[in-house]
Amino acid sequence: MQIQPNQIGVDFSAPGMVDVTKLRAAGATFASRYLSIAADHWKVITARERDNIWSAGLGILLNWEAGSTSWDRPGDGTAHAQQAAQMAAALGYPTNLPIIASVDADVQGAQIEVAAEYLSHFHDALSGYPLGVYGAAPIANRVGGLASFVWATESTAWGSSYDRTPNMQQHSISKYPAFEQFKDAKGKPTIDLNITLSPIDVWTGGDNPPEPPPLQPPSAPSPGAATYTVQRGDTLTAIASTHHTTVSALLRENPAITDPDHIMVGQVIKLP
């Protein structure tokens, strides 16, 4: 099934962590789930969970992460990819879909080359599966064409100037109020949201998967406040002109924007 731009996906850490039927009802269209170093690892998607996700009308993408710093050991890339491909094949994951390798860190300087070497080994050992990369712009740009799929991190502070439009970008659940229900007893979110920025293919069961539900609208601004969601081709200068303000005023209202020349499609900007 192909998911169109501006649709919502989710990712979460473990089987049974959330009610997938509620995810679908809230507006999700797919779930990204983990592969890891052993089939019985607590993070890993199972065949039963795969079927539950499908029965809820959601598609699936697979994401490999042996640990938060596994990318720091380039020599492990080959063995990790072989394990990922074996596990994906055992589940029946189609070889036209990417296995996404995570670099979940603010890599800088020499670390970029280390992570890129890990991903290069991972790519070469994937047994026919395309490589996807979850990471910030510096590593995604360094890997370049080796990655057929780019998943941008939520943290723009790690680098958001991508050489290509990412396929999707991670966000916190605060972006869409329908997902505020997905929190644990301490109020901590149990999922992250992912907004598609280009058409993507996901894994579905059956010949006639349901159509994606309409995208839920962003949260309403508080009285006296207004927001704008960045569209393809927008610049901060153009947004400022359209809304009768200045770039400086926008930067004051949006301290998360560290580079006025680089804003992301789907980013919500508070207007003065």
- Distance, in Å, from the CA atom of 205 to the CA atom of 220, rounded to the nearest integer, reads 35
Residue range 233-250: mean pLDDT, rounded: 83
Q: Give the pLDDT of residue 209.
A: 46
Instruction: Give ∠ CA 141-105-5 in degrees, rounded to 5.
Output: 55
Nearest of 2, 10, 55 to residue 28 by alpha carbon: 10
Helix axes 77-91, 110-124, angle to 10 degrees: 40
pLDDT band at 126 (very low <50, low <70, confident <90, very high): very high
- The helix/strand/coil state of 65 is coil
Q: Give the pLDDT of residue 63.
A: 96
Report strand pairing: 8-11 vs 192-196. antiparallel
pLDDT at 15 over 90: no
Give the helix ranges, DSSP H, for 92-151.
110-124, 137-143
Q: Give the pLDDT of residue 210.
A: 46
pLDDT band at 162 (very low <50, low <70, confident <90, very high): very high
- Distance, in Å, from the CA atom of 239 to the CA atom of 68, rounded to the nearest integer, reads 37
- The helix/strand/coil state of 249 is helix
- The helix/strand/coil state of 247 is helix
pTM of the predicted structure, to 2 decimals: 0.75
**Could you tell me the end-to-end alpha-carbon distance of the chain, in angstroms, rounded to an integer?**
40
Which of 119-128, 197-206, 219-228 ranks highest by mean pLDDT? 119-128
Q: What percent of the chain has pLDDT over 70?
A: 93
Choice among 12-26, 40-54, 219-233, 240-254 with the minimum mean pLDDT: 219-233
Q: Give the pLDDT of residue 215.
A: 46
Residue range 27-34: mean pLDDT, rounded: 96
Q: What percent of the chain has pLDDT over 90?
A: 60
Residue range 198-203: mean pLDDT, rounded: 96
- Distance, in Å, from the CA atom of 192 to the CA atom of 128, rounded to the nearest integer, reads 29
pLDDT band at 248 (very low <50, low <70, confident <90, very high): confident
Residue range 217-246: mean pLDDT, rounded: 71
Residue range 212-237: mean pLDDT, rounded: 63
Looking at this protein, which amino acid is placed at residue 222?
A: S
Token pair, residue 95, equals 């070889």
Tell me the pLDDT of the chain averaged across its residues.
Answer: 88
Token pair, residue 247, equals 């770039």
